Chains A and B, each alone.
Chain A
């Protein structure tokens, strides 16, 4: 017996599969793939073309390519072909003159302007003014410099026609170097990361940020859950709503509120001034206050997550246990230590794991508040990856490098989430369908 696949089931999951494929799987794949490229704004994200630029020629010269070849490539040549004739007609060269060029010089090539001009001078209806003659030669000039070739083969052909005696491997090396699109650079991005002195700094920032915020979240979450558990209903309700507000407040407004709280002439500023304490822009003005700000900004959102889960777990503790402990004369503190906390072990572990992962990758709040400043003292890994790839003020977005940085987070995220799946046995929540037809 085999249970048949339900066609309805396939139809029901396929929209989800399609979207998840497009916006989960594909991004993972693309991040992985492009982490090994130098893709950036200047290379474009689709394939590039082949162009020899002045800069490239200079680099080639420095790299030891034969000077003659470099010189030959930097010069143009003149040839009479249907395309150049058409270009000349376009440029307004007199038709009769053009006709003569076509009939007598078709298919010929000239190394330099002088020889082409003397060939033209031999034609009957050449322009009388030398200036017009020079103008007429221009459309026939074919320079490899700054000309786009769509394929590498085309570029090689062009180079070979310019410098017929160049060795094949030099030609192919130049063609290769002329590619403007992104290219594979193996582990180049990761090597760069390793070599950069900022990297270690950012890693340390990230560790500090995650650890500090996590500690705040878990401890405050616990504190809130336990205190609201003991408080009368209205008091408890007030505080849990207050702490839930940041969770539903849009992040932009939440950031504005924190700015008001910590900014110049903001709340803390005014209070500090009146108390004669140092008053400055706490969010951006000093490193310790900047750290304190982003930890609190995130902590005040995150603590409610712990609060909700812990409160749920607390309500699940049979009241009889608490009564019994009170009858036994346990103080409230003993009750918390001996009865409540041990039963919150799994929720605490869950909140810790879950928030580690989300803090590791979150940067929205930091971006909207300190934006990693002052300097890059509060820059964390995720923010740096995002800035590198998508939010760079210099205008050159380094997608490849950003992808490499993101890939590290993606890998950590995948490993941790699979680990949690195992640890919390979520994968055992599947039951076999009981209707087998």
Chain B
């Protein structure tokens, strides 16, 4: 089922949280709504599932305008951040609830619940109550309950935020597996770029109620539309250098250092203010240009090691490299910079 938001606007009292947003989620796709906390992701989600009324625009499921349709009739499954399991019901009863409300017969309910429990791997938990489950198990139950009605759309609001790191990894792939197996259209709300990139077909990145870019994770990482997107994606994050073009294919950092510009920008007129984004993997691995500096910080991360390199004039570049211990703090290094992969943004923050 395709989900389309047209000029969707949402206001709380006097503050407009979402102003005229447009978004289309393709049938069977899993889309991430990614953005910092408070940017309006949950608000968007709640509008789609019918908890919030919209102040303007339309919400379409396929061709059907559901803007004024109450939640009960939208056939949307939602997994809430805190799972919202019904504490007084067993897992079985929790999952059966949507079916029993619909008036399904006992044997039907029994069969459906067992089927969905098998899909989500919780068959042996059916007799327990939510309080007797671990976080990951609760998550699976919440998923099962959201899916048992065979909804047209599945919405997940920060589903992994309440899990510890190990479970988060496990549930990440589980949710994706279940989504792919059911082929359901899904929207995942998250503030975690790793989740968004690893789980979803496409990412819609939001800031302050606005969608900045919709693209596949790779495209978005490689070609962010603006500084915000570039900064939001990538861990360790991109380093932004402020400065101006020299007019001869180089970039003069405010502090004085001169770095090469990518070839596509070589023709830029001189003295144009720019921000140059250097991702850690673009410094220290390969590239034609050599940059000299002093190691000012070393962070071994196991498989990789992260370095901060301070150039002569104080500019700090970051580098991530396969784990190595031949370089130590205070050492002078000359490392290659892959100038062609650098990202550049104009004064308004747009990519150039």
State the A residues within 8 Å of B (CB). 1, 3, 434-437
> Total contacts A to B, CB within 8 angstroms?
17
Interface presence of B51 (CB below 8 A): yes
Which of B52-60, B296-304, B321-329, B334-342 touches A? B52-60
Q: What chain B residues lie within 8 Å of A3 (beta carbons)?
A: 53
Q: Is B51 a contact partner of A437 (Cβ separation < 8 A)?
A: yes
Q: What chain B residues lie within 8 Å of A437 (beta carbons)?
A: 50-51, 53, 70-71
Identify 14 new A-B residue pairs, CB closer than 8 A, beyond the known A436-B53, A437-B50, A437-B70: A1-B11, A1-B53, A1-B54, A1-B55, A1-B56, A3-B53, A434-B51, A435-B51, A435-B71, A436-B51, A436-B52, A437-B51, A437-B53, A437-B71
Most buried by B among A1, A3, A434: A1
- Could you show 17 A-B contacts with beta carbons less than 8 Å apart? A1-B11, A1-B53, A1-B54, A1-B55, A1-B56, A3-B53, A434-B51, A435-B51, A435-B71, A436-B51, A436-B52, A436-B53, A437-B50, A437-B51, A437-B53, A437-B70, A437-B71
Q: What chain A residues lie within 8 Å of B53 (beta carbons)?
A: 1, 3, 436-437
Q: What chain A residues lie within 8 Å of B70 (beta carbons)?
A: 437
State the B residues within 8 Å of A (CB). 11, 50-56, 70-71
The distance from the CB of B275 to the nearest CB of chain A, in whole angstroms, is 40
State the CA gap A437–B70 with chains docked (Å): 6
Most buried by A among B52, B54, B56, B71: B52
State the CA gap A153–B55 with chains docked (Å): 64
CB nearest to A436 among chain B residues: B53
State the CA gap A263–B55 with chains docked (Å): 73
Q: Is the interface of B mostly helix, strand, loop or mixed?
A: loop
State the CA gap A1–B68 with chains docked (Å): 10
The distance from the CB of A48 to the nearest CB of chain B, in whole angstroms, is 56
Q: What chain A residues lie within 8 Å of B50 (beta carbons)?
A: 437
State the CA gap A14–B281 with chains docked (Å): 67
10 closest A-B pairs by CB: A437-B70, A436-B53, A1-B55, A1-B53, A436-B52, A435-B51, A437-B50, A437-B71, A3-B53, A437-B53
State the CA gap A3–B50 with chains docked (Å): 12
CB nearest to A1 among chain B residues: B55
The distance from the CB of A5 to the nearest CB of chain B, in whole angstroms, is 13
State the CA gap A434–B84 with chains docked (Å): 15
State the CA gap A435–B78 with chains docked (Å): 14
CB nearest to A437 among chain B residues: B70
State the CA gap A1–B50 with chains docked (Å): 14
Most buried by A among B53, B55, B71: B53
The distance from the CB of A114 to the nearest CB of chain B, in whole angstroms, is 90
The distance from the CB of A3 to the nearest CB of chain B, in whole angstroms, is 6
Q: What chain A residues lie within 8 Å of B11 (beta carbons)?
A: 1
State the CA gap A122–B36 with chains docked (Å): 116
CB nearest to A4 among chain B residues: B53
The distance from the CB of B80 to the nearest CB of chain A, in whole angstroms, is 12
State the CA gap A1–B53 with chains docked (Å): 7
Q: What chain B residues lie within 8 Å of A435 (beta carbons)?
A: 51, 71
State the CA gap A3–B54 with chains docked (Å): 10
The distance from the CB of B330 to the nearest CB of chain A, in whole angstroms, is 44
Q: What chain A residues lie within 8 Å of B55 (beta carbons)?
A: 1
Q: What chain A residues lie within 8 Å of B51 (beta carbons)?
A: 434-437
Q: What chain A residues lie within 8 Å of B54 (beta carbons)?
A: 1
State the CA gap A434–B54 with chains docked (Å): 13
State the CA gap A3–B53 with chains docked (Å): 8
State the CA gap A434–B71 with chains docked (Å): 13
The distance from the CB of B74 to the nearest CB of chain A, in whole angstroms, is 10
Q: What chain B residues lie within 8 Å of A434 (beta carbons)?
A: 51
State the CA gap A437–B66 with chains docked (Å): 12
State the CA gap A437–B11 with chains docked (Å): 15
State the CA gap A1–B11 with chains docked (Å): 9
Q: What chain A residues lie within 8 Å of B52 (beta carbons)?
A: 436
State the CA gap A80–B303 with chains docked (Å): 126
The distance from the CB of A77 to the nearest CB of chain B, in whole angstroms, is 79
CB nearest to B9 among chain A residues: A1
State the CA gap A188–B77 with chains docked (Å): 70
State the CA gap A435–B56 with chains docked (Å): 17
The distance from the CB of A431 to the nearest CB of chain B, in whole angstroms, is 12
State the CA gap A437–B48 with chains docked (Å): 12
State the CA gap A434–B46 with chains docked (Å): 10
CB nearest to B68 among chain A residues: A437
State the CA gap A1–B51 with chains docked (Å): 14
Q: What chain B residues lie within 8 Å of A436 (beta carbons)?
A: 51-53
The distance from the CB of A20 to the nearest CB of chain B, in whole angstroms, is 29
State the CA gap A322–B110 with chains docked (Å): 57
State the CA gap A437–B71 with chains docked (Å): 8
CB nearest to B55 among chain A residues: A1
CB nearest to B53 among chain A residues: A436
Most buried by B among A3, A434, A435, A437: A437
Q: What chain A residues lie within 8 Å of B71 (beta carbons)?
A: 435, 437
CB nearest to A435 among chain B residues: B51
CB nearest to B11 among chain A residues: A1
State the CA gap A434–B52 with chains docked (Å): 7
CB nearest to A2 among chain B residues: B53
State the CA gap A3–B71 with chains docked (Å): 14
State the CA gap A436–B12 with chains docked (Å): 11
State the CA gap A272–B52 with chains docked (Å): 74
CB nearest to A434 among chain B residues: B51
